Amino acid sequence: MKLCQDEFKRLMTEEIERMVREDTANRFEKLNHTLMYQTPLVGFVSGTDPLFSHLKQVIGNFHSTPVEAITQYSKLKGVTPPPAEHVGVISYILPISQATRDENAGMKDHPSRRWAYTRLFGQDFNNRLQSHLVEFLEQRGFIAVAPEQDKRLFKQLQDEKVGWASTWSQRHVAYAAGLGTFGLSDGLITSKGKAHRIGSVVVNFPLESPARPTDIHQYCVFYQTGGCMICAQRCPAGAITDRGHDKNLCKEFVYSQLSYIQQSYGIKIYACGLCQTKVACEKQIPNNQDK
């Protein structure tokens, strides 16, 4: 399929938006069938963007570059890997619905029902969307892989230097694609806020990198002015301080919610996300005057 870059971007953006709008898997089946996610944000970045090699220093050598991911995948598939300069990445943000954000904003010690449903069924939809995009691209003659979806390529691990991490960090990929910057809580602040989930696909289509803030904390009020820290006040585990986010305390709390969620909402999943709701950056890039 011969497409120019703008046509490719339009094709992918429209398909992601269509899936979010029309796929029944993006609906609260157990509630009122409303949408779990609102209109997505879609970004693109070159697979050879130097940021990806830099992430090997920031995160660790175990973190894949897009070229490594598609090369490994091509070899497993038995096809010739594409030349590095033909590799591009599509990243998207799935903003969590207002009803869910409002419900979680009313919680203090546990995640709300809709939030827990979105963690479980919303991630199922996110997995499905990434697999769909791979199929959609492969049907059009491309080689495509969603690195987090392919269990041969993806691993979560605990690293000595950075703690809990993985071989494909969706937030770092979304930052590379110009979709947002990191907040004090570690959440990615985008033009649609910080309450969202992320997905991405690597493809053999050359894409240009976007302009993006060089300051990785540009949209966080705390890092810009020293104020705000509402996310820290929201965290029931004390995991957020002016030194950042303690992943161990966070993980312990998030996993401790399993029994509450099972007893209260009847599903087996862990979740929290209190630091992503009732905060200045919940649904937008906050104004630096926000406290």
Task: Say if CB 66 and CB 143 are below 8 A apart.
Answer: no
Based on the shown chain and the rule CB under 6 A, indicate whether residue 188 belongs to the binding site for ligand SF4.
no
Cβ neighbours around 274 below 10 Å, total: 25
CA-CA distance, 8 to 140, in Å (whole number)?
11
- What is the SS3 assignment for 244? strand
In this complex, which beta carbon is closest to ligand B12, that of residue 99 or of residue 162? 162
CA 139 to chain centre: 25
- The sign of the torsion formed by the CA atoms of 145, 151, 152, 156 equals positive
In this complex, which beta carbon is closest to ligand B12, that of residue 84 or of residue 120? 120
DSSP, res 122:
I
In this complex, which beta carbon is closest to ligand SF4, that of residue 69 or of residue 235? 235
Task: Say if CB 16 and CB 137 are below 8 A apart.
Answer: no
Task: Say if CB 35 and CB 96 are below 8 A apart.
Answer: no
Cβ neighbours around 161 below 10 Å, total: 8
Of 67, 107, 250, 261, the residue at the interface with ligand SF4 (CB under 6 A) is: 250
Based on the shown chain and the rule CB under 6 A, indicate whether residue 254 belongs to the binding site for ligand SF4.
yes
Three-point CA angle 181, 168, 79, nearest 5°? 130
CA-CA distance, 273 to 188, in Å (whole number)?
12
CA-CA distance, 89 to 202, in Å (whole number)?
4
In this complex, which beta carbon is closest to ligand B12, that of residue 71 or of residue 149? 149
Kindly write out the interface string for residues 200-239 of this chain, putting x where it contacts ligand SF4 by CB under 6 A and - elsewhere: --------------------xxx-----xxxx--xx-x-x
Q: Which residues have CB under 8 Å from 269's CB, separation 6+?
A: 116, 119, 120, 258, 261
Based on the shown chain and the rule CB under 6 A, indicate whether residue 169 belongs to the binding site for ligand B12.
yes
Kindly write out the interface string for residues 131-160 of this chain, putting x where it contacts ligand B12 by CB under 6 A and - elsewhere: -----------------x-------x----
| Stretch of residues binding ligand SF4 (CB under 6 A), selected from 102-110, 129-137, 197-205, 272-280 | 272-280
Based on the shown chain and the rule CB under 6 A, indicate whether residue 96 belongs to the binding site for ligand SF4.
no
**4 backbone dihedrals φ, ψ, rounded to 5°:** -85, 170
Of 9, 113, 212, 245, the residue at the interface with ligand B12 (CB under 6 A) is: 245
Based on the shown chain and the rule CB under 6 A, indicate whether residue 193 belongs to the binding site for ligand SF4.
no
In this complex, which beta carbon is closest to ligand SF4, that of residue 36 or of residue 239? 239
| Stretch of residues binding ligand B12 (CB under 6 A), selected from 22-30, 65-73, 195-203, 205-213 | 195-203
Based on the shown chain and the rule CB under 6 A, indicate whether residue 97 belongs to the binding site for ligand B12.
no
Give the nearest residue (CB) to ligand SF4: 183
| Token pair 């979010």: residue | 20
Report the relative pairing of strands 240-241 and 244-245 from DSSP bridges.
antiparallel
Residues that bind ligand B12 (CB under 6 A): 54, 58-59, 119, 126, 148, 156, 162, 164-166, 168-172, 175, 182, 185-188, 194, 196-198, 216, 245, 247, 250-251, 254, 271-273, 275-276
Residues that bind ligand SF4 (CB under 6 A): 183-185, 220-222, 228-231, 234-235, 237, 239-240, 245, 250, 253-254, 272-275, 279-281, 286
